[in-house]
Homo-oligomer: A and B are copies of this chain.
């Protein structure tokens, strides 16, 4: 198989973990006789520094010409405390999602047996947790009209959703649930938000055609509690952009596996794969970041965009073997002194 992969390392620890993932993909290509071409593009703070634009046109073109996108992370502290800066790395991320039509962010959350004790939650609560969140990614308050009054003394953001925007991600969530434990939990705030009431309408209507899939309706405040009290109750969580942002981050830490969780952002065309841990600027350049989530993102890429199931499996097995042998970064074992590169080499050696 001959495939072109756009590589967007981005900011912070992005370049380090992405480099490991690219090496692992190379190794897979050799082993299974494929040709993967990698082409790098700029996005985020590094793109602002180089071009003034957080999502340059060349990067858009690169993504559109690729068969899949491997993404690191964006964000830099120099912009964080100045959200009024005219150009910010986040704008690059949002522009990229919108331009590529990446309307669904899919984040599996599961526990790794050897990591059960790394969770802030008690072992009996997180053991066996296995759910996936479908977060809408190109609608809601992220993209609605926003602004200030003329005197700048009041501000507004508009959350908007259309029936179509809700339908297309609902279909993905139900398709996933059908292959899993057959339960979808729609998270909203329908007792307050009109957009949430539209979500309920569309999702309930869709669900009525799939009687073998259970639809559960849950308010977002309740979901924020349930994720901690009983995360095993979830199978597929479906939610809008902002709620998804908050809940996926909450979910990512309950299992203690933040450095291990991949995500996929999909739409109509090319899909994008990224570790969920973000740019983690304090660790940038120190060779201490956990590359496993990036490698698992690459595995998801192989399976989802290229339908290379055996190859994806090989990558996942390599990560698991590395983990089970104790070859891990400090986030998992504080007494360890293996770095990002060393763990990456171990993973490659197990492929």
Contacts and interface: CB of A to CB of B under 8 A. Distances in A.
A274 interface: no
Contact of A161 (B155, B160, B198): B155
A222 interface: yes
Nearest to A245: B221
A252 interface: yes
B198 A155 contact: yes
Nearest to A162: B154
Contacts of A197: 83-84, 155
B141 A217 contact: no
Contact of A158 (B156, B191, B228): B156
Interface in A188-235: 189-198, 200-201, 217, 220-222, 224-225, 227-229
A74 to B, nearest CB: 10
Contacts of A189: 242, 245
Interface in A106-143: 120-122, 125, 141-142
A147 interface: yes
Contacts of A94: 192
B193 A146 contact: yes
B253 A229 contact: yes
A268 interface: no
Where chain A touches its partner, the secondary structure class is: helix
Given A80-B217, A221-B245, A250-B250, A195 B228 contact: no
Contact of A225 (B156, B196, B253): B253
Contacts of A155: 160-161, 194-195, 197-198
Contact of A156 (B121, B159, B245): B159
The 8 residue pairs across chains A and B that have the minimum distance between CB atoms: A83-B190, A155-B198, A224-B250, A221-B249, A146-B194, A154-B162, A90-B191, A156-B160
Interface of A: 79-81, 83-84, 88, 90, 94, 120-122, 125, 141-142, 144, 146-148, 153-164, 189-198, 200-201, 217, 220-222, 224-225, 227-229, 242-243, 245-250, 252-254, 258
